Each structure stands twice: as C-alpha cells, then as structure tokens.
C-alpha cells in the first residue's frame, strides 16, 4: 500500500504549519503520485528551490514510496494573498 493523501497532509501540517494546504492524489488512488499547493511562513526569504527542498525534506519518509511529487505552489502567506487578490480582479475568461 502506498502513501495516502491524509498522510501527506498530516506530515506537511506538522512540519511546515501551512496556512493553506491542498494535496491531490494524482495516482488514481494508489498513493504513488501527488500534486501539492502549500502556503507557509517557513518559506519567507527562501528561493523556490529552497522551498521545494523543505517540502521534500518534510516528506522524507513518504518519498520512499511516492513515485512523483508535483509542487504546484510553494508560497508565503503574503504571496498567496496577492495571488488570490489578483485572481479575483482578473477572473479567467
């Protein structure tokens, strides 16, 4: 049995204390592939690569069973707020 969406959420919540977290199992239920959107104050002052490394390090044990991890967004709360405001003022056509 692979990793569950709930395991990924629990681990990221305990290690990175996100203000927003979305985990999507893109493997069709087998737990081998996930897409993640995460907002955390721990990303403050860090480049994108460093943010991705934090996420991967937090999921060190889970990564032994995960085949693919797609980090769609790894942003600070301020960046998240700006993105949300931008999306509200420029809705997709």
Q: Using one digit for the tens of pLDDT, what is the confidence trace for 3-17?
A: 899 999 999 999 999
Distance CA 72, CA 22 (A): 10
- pLDDT at position 24 is 95
Q: Distance (Å, rounded) from C-alpha 85 to C-alpha 30?
A: 35
Q: What pLDDT score does 2 carry?
A: 79
Residue 93: band (very low, low, confident or very high) from pLDDT cuts 50, 70, 90: low
Q: For strand 68-75 and strand 33-39, is the pairing parallel, antiparallel, or unpaired?
A: parallel
- Would you say 59 and 93 are in contact if contact means Cβ atoms under 8 Å apart? no
Q: What is the pLDDT of residues 39-84, one digit of tens each?
A: 999 999 999 999 999 999 999 999 999 999 999 999 999 999 999 9
Rounded Cα–Cα distance for residues 76 and 50 (Å):
13
- In the numeric block, the tokens 């081998």 are attached to 32
């Amino acid at each position: 049995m692979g990793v569950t969406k709930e395991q990924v959420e629990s681990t990221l919540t305990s290690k990175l204390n996100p203000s927003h977290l979305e985990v999507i199992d893109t493997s069709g239920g087998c737990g081998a592939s996930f897409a993640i959107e995460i907002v955390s104050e721990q990303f403050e002052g860090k480049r994108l690569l460093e943010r991705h490394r934090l996420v991967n390090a937090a999921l060190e044990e889970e990564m032994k069973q995960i085949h693919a991890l797609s980090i769609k967004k790894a942003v600070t709360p301020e960046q998240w707020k700006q993105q949300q405001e931008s999306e509200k003022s420029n809705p997709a056509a």
